Structure 1
Amino acid sequence: MTKRSRSEPTGEDLLATRRKLPIWSARRALLREVAAAETLILTGETGSGKSTQVPQFLHAAGYTEAGAVGITQPRRVAAVSLARRVAAEQACPVGSLVGYAVRFDESFDRRPPKRGGTAIKFVTDGMLLREAASDPLLSAYSALIVDEAHERSLASDVVLALLKSAQARRRSANGGGAGPLKLVVMSATLEVDTFCAFFDGAPAVQVLGRSHPVEVLHAAEPCEDYLEAVVTTVLQIHQLEPAGDVLVFLTGEDDISAAAAAIEARARLLPATSPTLLPLPLYAALSPAAQMEALAPAPPNTRKALARARLLHTPAVLATNIAETSLTIEGVVYVAYHAARRVDSLLQLPISRAAALQRAGRAGRVSAGKCFRLYTERTFEARPPSCNALLQRPPATPSCNALPCRLARASVDDLEEATAPEVLRRSLSATVLSLLSLGVKDVLSFEFLTPPPADALAAALEASSSHCAPLTTAARSRRTAACSPGCRSSRSTAEPCSPRGAGVSLGRCSPCSACCALFHSPHSHREAADESRLRFRSPGGDTLTALHVVSAYDAASGGGKARGEGRRWAEANFLNWRTLETAVQVRTQLVATARRLGLGDGDGRVPDGVASAAQPLSSEESVELRRALAAAFFLQAAVRRPSGDYVTLVSRQTVSIHPSSALFSRRAPCVLYNELVFTTRLYMRDLTTIEAAWLAEVAPHFFKSGAAAAATGAAPSAGQPRMRIHGGGSFR
């Protein structure tokens, strides 16, 4: 791909651009509101300038004299790109006055701002949680801005609750002289009542207007093949509309590959005089360099470059929307998308109306634009829109409250007002462990923004208590490895094993849990991709399959010394190179944490060979790893019934093996699953085969011998005693 050049705007140009933003004229009124309230709820349309300007307003007003101004973002690419933009506007290098901290990458000065350190710091929600683990008061900050709060991720909801607690403690004598903590919660689309009530009646203000107008067009009729509709729309824009880049939202990486291939193929049939059409992907698994390439502007010096359309995509695994918020993608004038979002490889749900408004706003960031909605206007207008007003207090009784979200499957003819909070639709086990490590003593009474179902929270607490002893100081430091309760337990269980077995459990369980993300199957090479997947398949299940892939990648890349070779090998085998690199980074982080905490062999050492997994596992090491996983995830065990389906041992639900699993056609007698997903039925994903007898051995406090046979309704095999869950009664 040819590297694209661009002329850097001058300081005067940037200042002129800032002054044109809708929020600029409201800055004095906004600062008065911030000064008058400890917490302020701020909403404003996409493109109004909230993400880049509010932290600079606070800095200019003197808030950074008492500490840094922190801005949280739900995604790494947004935090990094916003930090670069604000640094450019402040005429300073990234890492000085303006910095960022995301997983595996950071650039900021740790000194206090008044001593020349970073004053404006962009962080992901997860990184702020890590800071709170060591400093619950977040004393390094004088003000914090929680951006894109409408996404309601688990991390952002927990961050909001911790910030409310930190504010209260800093007001009291326990603040230790840290001073008050200002908080600004903002988004383009926000359920104002929910946030105002959570922060005890905090005031809310709104900023009217986006930078440029957006014309919204709807499909005349519902489309049968949304991918075909997307490709056709992009080509029509390219041929009929004036110069400008195109932003297209798709549901997953496979659809991205298919659309890109179709657009490239059809673009070759266009007249020779037609401008170039260049598809570029943008999704979370891409390398940071590739993401920044997609965000960069096209060359401004030629008509051909100006007319070049860039196809930018975002996968939506559980409503992932990397290009939907916070990012200004230079040159984008046109946005096209369908109403579908993917929550599972077999299930698509409609996006919310809030997301639809966010997507339309992408077209009005840098100039007047058009949004092509590939669904009917009736589909969108089925729900009442949200209110917007010029920096003014919302009415005491808003006329358009957000409607509650359903968690069942729905037709794209029925758009919900907002996406359901993750706390209502995700496992809470990792969140509970995080809360425990943060010193929250009564998790059941923790003040969530939206309280999760009591039974889900109790089950997550039970899972954490089953795996984890009371958290010591060393145990809390394990939080830096960002592991689930199960992964933490698997590391502890592996300690009595051989050094390599311990290291394998330590450094593989977490990065290999998302096996399906390692593979991709482009439509044009589906058969070859399936053959590649079969070559790596392990009879031990998805975790061992992923371990096999990572081991082979280590060998191909020379243990990280020849990354170019490793990338070419991954692409040739239809593997996601970025996912492999992330797995290696997570493994390195886990091993470093283990060495610091003295985990590993009897002397507290982690063998050097663990840092590279080029050697395949022996049969003994495979057993050690699977036993460690059994000790970690015994609450997620399921056994096969004579009928061929499975039943979970704890919840006694009837489940099936997900078609993407390496075990789909094998039907192992007893398995562990990483998660359950519902499409047309309840499926288990990320599976590992185990021996049923191991459960009573690795978790005698929970299982009695014979539970597996009792659960299936079959008679135990010769010499195998029955097994029951303590306190759970009979399975018959």
Structure 2
Amino acid sequence: MASAKKRPGSKSPQIPKANHSPTKKHRPNPETPADILKQRESLAIFSVKEKLLAKIHAHNSCIIIGETASGKTTQLPQFLHEGGFSRQGTIVVTQPRRVAAVSVATRVAQEVGTELGQLVGYTVRFQDVTSPATKIKYMTDGMLLREALGDHLLKRYSVIVLDEAHERTIHTDVLFGVVKKAQRVRLKRQLPPLKVIVMSATMNVDKFSNYFNKAPVLYLEGRQYHVEVLHSMEPQTDYLFAALVTVFQIHKREPPKSDILVFLTGQEEIEAMVHTINDIAKGMPATCPRLIVHPLYASLPSQQQLRVFQPTPDGCRKVIVSTNIAETSITIRGVKFVVDTGMVKAKTFSAISGLDLLKVQRISKAQAWQRTGRAGRQSAGSTVHYSLIRISYRLYTQQEYRNFLDDTIPEIQRCNLASIVLQLLALGVKNPASFDFMDKPSGESMKCAFTELQLLQAVEGAGEAVCLTDLGRQMASFPLDPKLAKVIMASKDLGCAEEILSVVALLSVDSILFTPQQKIEDAQAIRRKFVSSEGDHITYLNIFRAFRGLPEHDKHKWCYENYVHYRNLNTACNIRQQLRDLCLRANIPLKSCGQDMTSVRKCLTKGLFLNAAELQREGTYITLGPVKHKATFHPSSSLFGCKPAYVLYSEIVQTTRCFLRTAFVIEPEWLYETAPNYFRQSKGANR
């Protein structure tokens, strides 16, 4: 492929041609038990069922590498149940993401022929669809970790399957150590044994095997359909232009219903690409299939996300332009072509600067193969295809690919560890710095986490003598960032728990605001009635109060008209209910402060005081922590264009510069009342 920058007189990038196979029509989705059984038996894992069970019987731990669509996630738990492993406890399968846990559990319940929540169930944050009859349980890794707080040995379970292990989320990495210890202690105490199975499509098998005491590695053959991988012939200087050209060259050559999945890095890129594709498609000849273009990213409203799963109409082609959410979390049937730009937007926490750095960077080799696998999944309905050709177009050269990291840097090495240290102490780990991590986080990150928890009065002591305070134990009972847990605890004395629960719930979900690139001014004008001069937290609270006051049948329409997310607001309602139950157990009185938001802002200060910023003469802000950063309000903030003297923010992100996201106005004396020693030192450092 030639350079992607379009210059006067230059040629467009050319993609290699592929030979076409005869096309066949597809049939409707199978629904009968016979069809389901036939589909199960066609999976790669089915032919090695007995060998797998024999290996698992013989070893306490196993590593299973199975390519995309081999059937490991849906079939292995059923094999284990049929093989008698559920007699002494439940078989649990962890997933990094909520959507995967729910969708896979639903599919397995259908295959088993049982109602969801009976033999097969799932548990995700704020939702438990299980019963005493549940023997196969799918759950997020974070939920299993929280269960371990009350039962360190996980005695309810006979088999723990850690799926999608290559993603290395922070909860999965901690679970590795927790289940490994539970397995060892149960063996030592002669309790029923715990089988641990680690599964992935791609991973560093030697590292995983060594970590789990030389566990055997079992390989499952192939993806359901072969995918041809084509690399760019030369480096691309503009991956967006290269992706656009590639989409239309595929579109001109390939028959209808051969859908395309394009990987980009974020909402702005995706919406711009969708708009451009639609504009160009209007001028295409009538002989070309009609293009149906869908964006896909985490903050997209759920009803719009669901459009990507709709069957492609006859004579049309679907193009999905997505972030890395489509790498592993979901399967979009009908995709035959993947356009991989090789880029991803990733957040990394710097313990030295205290900043979350959000930047576009190269993916890893493991991610590249995950993206390629998206073209190898089953077509909607059957193994009979409209087109047998499946290609992954990589918009980077083979040499560039060889320079990629083998695996994505684990989240444990690139995030704030305060919540993990708090959880480990609650789990009885005396020295979290010596915890058995597969990849240890840096000493600076651990030190930063301990310092934050000490300032929040959650821990006391140091080194081997560090321990939770009474306040810290109460904070650990809330499934929240320690700063937000401290805010809830502070509401007890300030009499505003009802409002604080709403604000904390809103901060625990993705943004409740939905602002399409083409309608920024419209969205801002319509939402102006909710904007508070006190800041974003109060603005969000105003939106939430209006939403909760509506009849259920009016909420969807109201959210659409006001450019806010129904799903995220509804999730916030569920989170608020669970937090309310936890407050009742912690004897926190559920009082309301009415319309006066001063108590709410004071209460937020009790937990977020580390995130203070002060206005400077030139109009920018400087953070008041040990490391000073110049920052401005993010354009999405309700304080954008305002100049209050002091603010607190929920998040500071560095892209091209530092932005304060989700901020509110405070009085400076509140900081000294909350942490006098910290701010005296901070002011001294400023001088």
TM-score (norm 2): 0.84
Paired residue secondary structure (2:390)? strand
Which of 621, 627, 631 lines up with 1:652 in the alignment?
A: 627
Separation in structure 1 between the aligned mates of residue 546 and residue 309 of structure 2, nearest angstrom: 32
Larger relative contact order (C-alpha < 8 A, sep ≥ 6)? Answer: 2
Structural mapping, 1:27-106, within 5 Å:
27-106=49-128
Separation in structure 2 between the aligned mates of residue 523 and residue 634 of structure 1, nearest angstrom: 33
Q: Which residue does 2:194 correspond to in 1?
A: 181
Deviation at 1:211, TM superposition (A): 1.3
Indicate how the Cα distance of structure 1 residues 590 and 426 shifts in structure 2: closer, same or farther if over 3 A, else same: same
Which of 593, 604, 607 lines up with 2:582 in the alignment?
A: 593
Separation in structure 2 between the aligned mates of residue 520 and residue 230 of structure 1, nearest angstrom: 26
Q: Which residue does 2:398 correspond to in 1?
A: 378
Indicate how the Cα distance of structure 1 residues 688 and 438 shifts in structure 2: closer, same or farther if over 3 A, else same: farther
Q: Which residue does 1:503 correspond to in 2?
A: 498
Separation in structure 2 between the aligned mates of residue 202 and residue 7 of structure 1, nearest angstrom: 39
Indicate how the Cα distance of structure 1 residues 712 and 128 shifts in structure 2: closer, same or farther if over 3 A, else same: same
Indicate how the Cα distance of structure 1 residues 285 and 132 shifts in structure 2: closer, same or farther if over 3 A, else same: farther
Deviation at 1:697, TM superposition (A): 0.8
Deviation at 1:352, TM superposition (A): 1.6
Deviation at 1:265, TM superposition (A): 4.5
Q: Which residue does 2:481 correspond to in 1?
A: 484
Deviation at 1:157, TM superposition (A): 0.7
Which of 539, 544, 562 lines up with 1:545 in the alignment?
A: 539
Indicate how the Cα distance of structure 1 residues 537 and 154 shifts in structure 2: closer, same or farther if over 3 A, else same: same
Structural mapping, 1:104-503, within 5 Å:
104-109=126-131, 111=132, 117-173=133-189, 177=191, 179-220=192-233, 222-223=235-236, 226-242=239-255, 243-270=257-284, 275-285=289-299, 294-295=308-309, 298=311, 304-305=313-314, 307-315=315-323, 321-325=324-328, 327-343=330-346, 347-366=359-378, 368-373=388-393, 375-378=395-398, 380-383=400-403, 415-469=404-458, 479=476, 481-498=478-495, 501-503=496-498
Q: Which amino acid aligns with 2:494?
A: C
Q: Which residue does 2:10 correspond to in 1?
A: none
Indicate how the Cα distance of structure 1 residues 672 and 375 shifts in structure 2: closer, same or farther if over 3 A, else same: same
Deviation at 1:6, TM superposition (A): 5.1
**Could you report, residue by residue, the CA deviation over 1:295-353 in whole angstroms, capped at 9, with x for unpaired residues?**
46x27xxxx43x543333443xxxxx332126443222222232221236973222222
Indicate how the Cα distance of structure 1 residues 455 and 622 shifts in structure 2: closer, same or farther if over 3 A, else same: same
Indicate how the Cα distance of structure 1 residues 157 and 314 shifts in structure 2: closer, same or farther if over 3 A, else same: farther
Separation in structure 2 between the aligned mates of residue 622 and residue 449 of structure 1, nearest angstrom: 45
Deviation at 1:475, TM superposition (A): 7.1
Deviation at 1:142, TM superposition (A): 0.7
Deviation at 1:552, TM superposition (A): 3.8
Separation in structure 1 between the aligned mates of residue 684 and residue 641 of structure 2, nearest angstrom: 24
Given that 2:363 and 2:408 are in contact with CA atoms closer than 8 Å, whether structure 1 keeps it comes out as yes
Given that 2:506 and 2:512 are in contact with CA atoms closer than 8 Å, whether structure 1 keeps it comes out as no
Separation in structure 2 between the aligned mates of residue 20 and residue 163 of structure 1, nearest angstrom: 33
Residue identity over aligned pairs, in percent, reads: 37
Q: Which residue does 1:730 correspond to in 2?
A: none
Separation in structure 1 between the aligned mates of residue 309 and residue 117 of structure 2, nearest angstrom: 20
Which of 690, 695, 702 lines up with 2:666 in the alignment?
A: 690
Paired residue secondary structure (1:697)? helix
Deviation at 1:271, TM superposition (A): 5.2
Paired residue secondary structure (1:625)? helix
Does residue 580 of the first structure (1) align with residue 569 of the second (2)?
Answer: yes
Separation in structure 2 between the aligned mates of residue 430 and residue 683 of structure 1, nearest angstrom: 23
Q: Which residue does 1:668 correspond to in 2?
A: 644
Given that 1:41 and 1:185 are in contact with CA atoms closer than 8 Å, whether structure 2 keeps it comes out as yes
Paired residue secondary structure (1:419)? coil
Q: Which amino acid aligns with 1:325?
A: T
Paired residue secondary structure (2:597)? helix
Deviation at 1:631, TM superposition (A): 1.3
Indicate how the Cα distance of structure 1 residues 446 and 207 shifts in structure 2: closer, same or farther if over 3 A, else same: same
Separation in structure 1 between the aligned mates of residue 659 and residue 300 of structure 2, nearest angstrom: 28
Deviation at 1:439, TM superposition (A): 3.1
Given that 2:457 and 2:469 are in contact with CA atoms closer than 8 Å, whether structure 1 keeps it comes out as no
Deviation at 1:204, TM superposition (A): 2.2
Separation in structure 2 between the aligned mates of residue 108 and residue 292 of structure 1, nearest angstrom: 25
Separation in structure 1 between the aligned mates of residue 421 and residue 100 of structure 2, nearest angstrom: 27
Given that 1:51 and 1:326 are in contact with CA atoms closer than 8 Å, whether structure 2 keeps it comes out as no
Given that 2:99 and 2:329 are in contact with CA atoms closer than 8 Å, whether structure 1 keeps it comes out as no
Given that 1:286 and 1:578 are in contact with CA atoms closer than 8 Å, whether structure 2 keeps it comes out as no
Given that 2:293 and 2:321 are in contact with CA atoms closer than 8 Å, whether structure 1 keeps it comes out as no
Indicate how the Cα distance of structure 1 residues 10 and 100 shifts in structure 2: closer, same or farther if over 3 A, else same: same
Separation in structure 2 between the aligned mates of residue 423 and residue 659 of structure 1, nearest angstrom: 27
Q: Which residue does 1:391 correspond to in 2?
A: none
Give aligned pairs, total: 634
Q: Which amino acid aligns with 2:339?
A: A
Deviation at 1:161, TM superposition (A): 1.3
Separation in structure 2 between the aligned mates of residue 276 and residue 131 of structure 1, nearest angstrom: 50
Q: Which amino acid aligns with 2:566?
A: W
Which 5+ residue runs of structure 2 have no aligned equivalent? Answer: 1-26, 348-356, 380-387, 460-467
Indicate how the Cα distance of structure 1 residues 628 and 474 shifts in structure 2: closer, same or farther if over 3 A, else same: closer
Q: Which residue does 2:3 correspond to in 1?
A: none
Which of 574, 597, 606 lines up with 1:631 in the alignment?
A: 606
**Could you report, residue by residue, the CA deviation over 1:255-282 in whole angstroms, capped at 9, with x for unpaired residues?**
4444444444544545556544333454
Given that 2:92 and 2:160 are in contact with CA atoms closer than 8 Å, whether structure 1 keeps it comes out as yes
Paired residue secondary structure (1:694)? helix
Separation in structure 1 between the aligned mates of residue 125 and residue 300 of structure 2, nearest angstrom: 14
Indicate how the Cα distance of structure 1 residues 464 and 512 shifts in structure 2: closer, same or farther if over 3 A, else same: same
Separation in structure 1 between the aligned mates of residue 548 and residue 77 of structure 2, nearest angstrom: 42
Deviation at 1:46, TM superposition (A): 1.8
Paired residue secondary structure (1:376)? coil
Paired residue secondary structure (1:64)? coil
Paired residue secondary structure (2:425)? helix
Separation in structure 2 between the aligned mates of residue 184 and residue 340 of structure 1, nearest angstrom: 31
TM-score (norm 1): 0.79
Deviation at 1:656, TM superposition (A): 1.4
Given that 1:246 and 1:335 are in contact with CA atoms closer than 8 Å, whether structure 2 keeps it comes out as yes
Deviation at 1:577, TM superposition (A): 3.0
Deviation at 1:32, TM superposition (A): 2.6
Q: Which residue does 2:38 correspond to in 1?
A: 16
Separation in structure 2 between the aligned mates of residue 569 and residue 228 of structure 1, nearest angstrom: 37
Which of 672, 684, 687 lines up with 1:710 in the alignment?
A: 684
Given that 1:337 and 1:372 are in contact with CA atoms closer than 8 Å, whether structure 2 keeps it comes out as yes
